Structure 1
Amino acid sequence: MWAASCLASCCAACACDACRTVVSGISRRSARIAYCGLFALSLFVSWILREVAAPLMEQLPWINHFHKTPNREWFETDAVLRVSLGNFLFFTILSFLMIGVKNQRDPRDGLHHGRWMMKIVCWFILVILMFFVPNEIISFYETISKFGSGLFLLIQVVLLLDFVHGWNDKWVGYDEQFWYVALFIVSLVCYLATFGFSGLLFHWFTPSGQDCGLNTFLIVMTLILVILFAIVALHPAVGSSILPASVISLYCMYLCYSGLASEPRDYECNGLHKHSKAISTGTVTVGLLTTILSVVYSAVRAGSSTTLLSPPSSPRAGGGKPLLPLDKADEEEKEKNKAVTYSYAFFHIIFSLLSICGLSLLLFSSQTGTSKSL
């Protein structure tokens, strides 16, 4: 018994030392990626709880206080929503704490880039506490998450536009005929995929003999937006390339498909119900990868020359002036007063919205037609 206790203590000490080593190794450059890792951890935790937490939650009287016990899917959804709420509160609190950080002398700069053990412990406590809040709060959060998810999708489009414009400018900057032809080919492929995808949507979600006016309206409106994007991109007053419009058009068509695929499986206008398992798995995979990639991109892209996340005082946001050589003491002082390269508050807001979209929607898009309401 003594040997087992000693061995357990040694293992715990080694685990703590390993955690301290990892968190202390996170530098300023890798802090943004570390936040992505923390979000990935929340995805993993929510997936585990979705699989194993239902029987345990059925025993909690402040959760299961109904006259008739809900089905298993209700508890699975509830578990992920509670993790999502804890994640949302964690990043929202960080966002409020980071409002007004303009230079690295601010003590809050150290909180943003360091103190990872404390932040991980706080995140863990918040997630645990969410399993003690009343069901009414979780139901309210589920309702507002639909609006938050829509807002995140708009930010996702902005991030995608930022990426595509950078891609377009890089190829145009080569000023060679080959790269202009490559831009045209990529744009053409995107438009062919968009219109081909729209044909599949008409085939899957507007079956003959059924009144599917809403589905038809959504697909047609998406096609109208595709045409408008192209007209705006080619207008002389805009002077933009067709590549951003083509990529955004393909992404909007995917969003239309994702929305239509979320219709109940027994809905007569959802033509995917016969092979919904395979299609739903593909939708979840593509949606999850798209969301995670957009967040990783926002973390890495923050502070870039596009000033997407750069505050006005940042040197990357313009207004920086070259300085004369300084001595070592002045250089150290300059480093302390160095302006931050991106808005910490907005950075955490992105993760707050992702917590709503990524956890409460993407992980449950496979449960098409499942409602948490009783």
Structure 2
Amino acid sequence: MVESADQPKEATLVEVKLSDDMTVNPGEQFEQKSYENLVKRKKSLLARYAYAMIFLIINLIAWFFRDYGEKILPLLLYSKACRIGETGCFHTLGVLRVSLGCFIFFCTMFLTTCNTSKLYQARNTWHSGWWVLKFIILIISLVVPFFIPSDYIQIYGEIARIGAGVFLLLQLLSVIEFITWWNNYWMPDEKKKHSCSFGLFMSTLFYIASVCGIVLMYVLYTSKASCTLNIFFISWTGILLAVMMVISLHSKVNRGLLSSGIMASYVVFLCWSAIRSEPATAKCSPQTQGSGHGGWTTVIGFLIAICAIVMATFSTGIDSQTFQFRKNDIQLEDDIPYKYGFFHLVFSLGAMYFAMLFISWNLDSSTRKWSIDVGWASTWVKIVNEWFAATIYLWRLISPVVRQTKVMHHEEPVQGV
């Protein structure tokens, strides 16, 4: 018998029978599961700030061992690993020992969370909880390096140079990806119906800031005609700015001025930072104009630099999407909000990076108090980083054109046949 179309259909409520006197509504069960996933997601997001705070505290511990450890912790001088009467646990080696402890901790976290993908997995609970146990592991990780002979710590220092370089590369790719995203977001789009006025305003602002930065560096750091190295650094930075602007406006590229303007400001900042890292003994170094004895400006600059290290590590660690091959995967409700393994891997590399900044990339000499990332090694690392950043950005601009040209040349013979 066929029911008429006008006959109302009775709504049925599906119930799952658990026992004789208890039933559960599937809708309520789904809501409860969603709520549990939401709570776990919030814990996971809060956990990353806890790890960043741990990283900040370890940075301060490394600074303490470098500048004041020898006076406040003299008992460590009697350790065999620290060499009696020497500074094997302070200054440069002290920083490397603390850095190694930080590396061990975050490397352990990386190995125990690298395959986590869902919020209901036990590894997610380990990443977001068990803080007492992780605190014990952290203490052990920081103590163990002080019993390792100094020769092995020197070897770790050499490895840390490579790890710090890898960290700089990851950070650079993350910055360029962010610049690309911002440019795509504010570019005029018919689908999004965005106004390009804000994008034009920001691109103009960034280019004005970049040009002003170039002029200001010429005024401050090339007061003498003999400052040829600074003149070269600044002039080459200006050339890179012009090249990026011309290529981004080329008809075949047509990327607009916003991304190149942001990148220009970043390149100018790297150049300024490199010149500021020149040692005080250099005749054109800006360090010679300061007291260099830990004035309040030096202390504030030092603390800002440490916070910048933590922020750079944190922002790179949570940006795992930049380094994924499949970026269009749909985020499910029970998926973790960020890749835990990559997050801890970046922090382990960040441990090597902050060690290099504290010792100015030099394993053989100690840096002065309240200084960070000062020396010719630091200067050249930043200059190379600047040139590398510009090279990667320019390649990302022209690579689509190069690929398109290759495809066209490959298709022409096929069409001829």
- Structure 1-normalised TM-score? 0.70
Q: How much does 1:346 deviate?
A: 1.7
- 2:212 aligns to what? 196
Match of 1:290 among 302, 308, 317: 308
Instruction: Give the counterpart letter for 2:249 in structure 1.
Output: L
Instruction: Give the counterpart letter for 2:246 in structure 1.
Output: I
Q: How much does 1:301 deviate?
A: 5.1
**What whole-Å deviation, never above 9, does each CA across 1:322-355 have from its counterpart, x for those lacking one?**
xxxxxxxxxxxx97xx444433222212111222
Is the alpha carbon distance of 1:169 and 1:255 closer, same or farther for their aligned partners in structure 2, counting shifts above 3 Å?
A: same
Q: Does 1:109 align with 2:124?
A: yes
Structure 1 CA distance for aligned equivalents of residues 232 and 313 of structure 2: 31
- 1:218 aligns to what? 233
Q: How much does 1:169 deviate?
A: 4.1
Instruction: Give the counterpart letter for 1:230 in structure 2.
Output: M
Q: Does 1:318 align with 2:323?
A: no
Structure 2 CA distance for aligned equivalents of residues 197 and 283 of structure 1: 19
Structure 2 CA distance for aligned equivalents of residues 265 and 290 of structure 1: 23
Match of 1:308 among 322, 327, 334: 322
Match of 2:83 among 65, 69, 92: 65
Q: How much does 1:266 deviate?
A: 1.2
Q: How much does 1:63 deviate?
A: 5.2
Contact 1:309 1:346 in 2 (8 A): no
- 1:331 aligns to what? none
Structure 1 CA distance for aligned equivalents of residues 268 and 104 of structure 2: 32
Contact 1:26 1:114 in 2 (8 A): no
Q: Does 1:249 align with 2:264?
A: yes
Contact 1:265 1:276 in 2 (8 A): no
**What whole-Å deviation, never above 9, does each CA across 1:202-252 have from its counterpart, x for those lacking one?**
344444253x44433333333333233323433444443422222222222
Q: Which moved more, 1:361-370 or 1:344-353?
A: 361-370
Structure 1 CA distance for aligned equivalents of residues 236 and 300 of structure 2: 24
- Structure 2-normalised TM-score? 0.64
Structure 2 CA distance for aligned equivalents of residues 215 and 62 of structure 1: 45
Is the alpha carbon distance of 1:363 and 1:293 closer, same or farther for their aligned partners in structure 2, counting shifts above 3 Å?
A: farther
Of structures 1 and 2, the larger Rg is shown by 2
Is the alpha carbon distance of 1:51 and 1:283 closer, same or farther for their aligned partners in structure 2, counting shifts above 3 Å?
A: closer
Contact 1:32 1:299 in 2 (8 A): no
**What whole-Å deviation, never above 9, does each CA across 1:284-329 have from its counterpart, x for those lacking one?**
4554343333334345555xxxx326574xxxx43549xxxxxxxx
Q: Does 1:30 align with 2:46?
A: yes
Instruction: Give the counterpart letter for 1:190 in structure 2.
Output: F
Contact 1:310 1:341 in 2 (8 A): no
Residue aligned with 2:44, SS: coil
- 2:56 aligns to what? 40
Instruction: Give the counterpart letter for 1:60 in structure 2.
Output: Y
Contact 1:265 1:273 in 2 (8 A): yes
Instruction: Give the counterpart letter for 1:346 in structure 2.
Output: F
Is the alpha carbon distance of 1:351 and 1:27 closer, same or farther for their aligned partners in structure 2, counting shifts above 3 Å?
A: same
Structure 2 CA distance for aligned equivalents of residues 311 and 111 of structure 1: 27
Give the number of equivalent residue pairs. Answer: 320
- RMSD of aligned residue pairs (Cα, Å): 3.7
Contact 2:277 2:375 in 1 (8 A): yes
Contact 2:55 2:310 in 1 (8 A): no
**What whole-Å deviation, never above 9, does each CA across 1:29-49 have from its counterpart, x for those lacking one?**
322222212212212333444
Is the alpha carbon distance of 1:236 and 1:101 closer, same or farther for their aligned partners in structure 2, counting shifts above 3 Å?
A: farther
Which structure 2 segments of 5+ residues have no match? 1-39, 361-369, 378-417
Contact 2:174 2:319 in 1 (8 A): no
Which structure 1 segments of 5+ residues have no match? 1-23, 322-333
Contact 1:309 1:342 in 2 (8 A): no
Structure 2 CA distance for aligned equivalents of residues 284 and 241 of structure 1: 37
Structure 2 CA distance for aligned equivalents of residues 276 and 159 of structure 1: 36
Q: How does 1:235-274 map to 2 (within 5 A)?
A: 235-274=250-289
Structure 2 CA distance for aligned equivalents of residues 257 and 150 of structure 1: 20
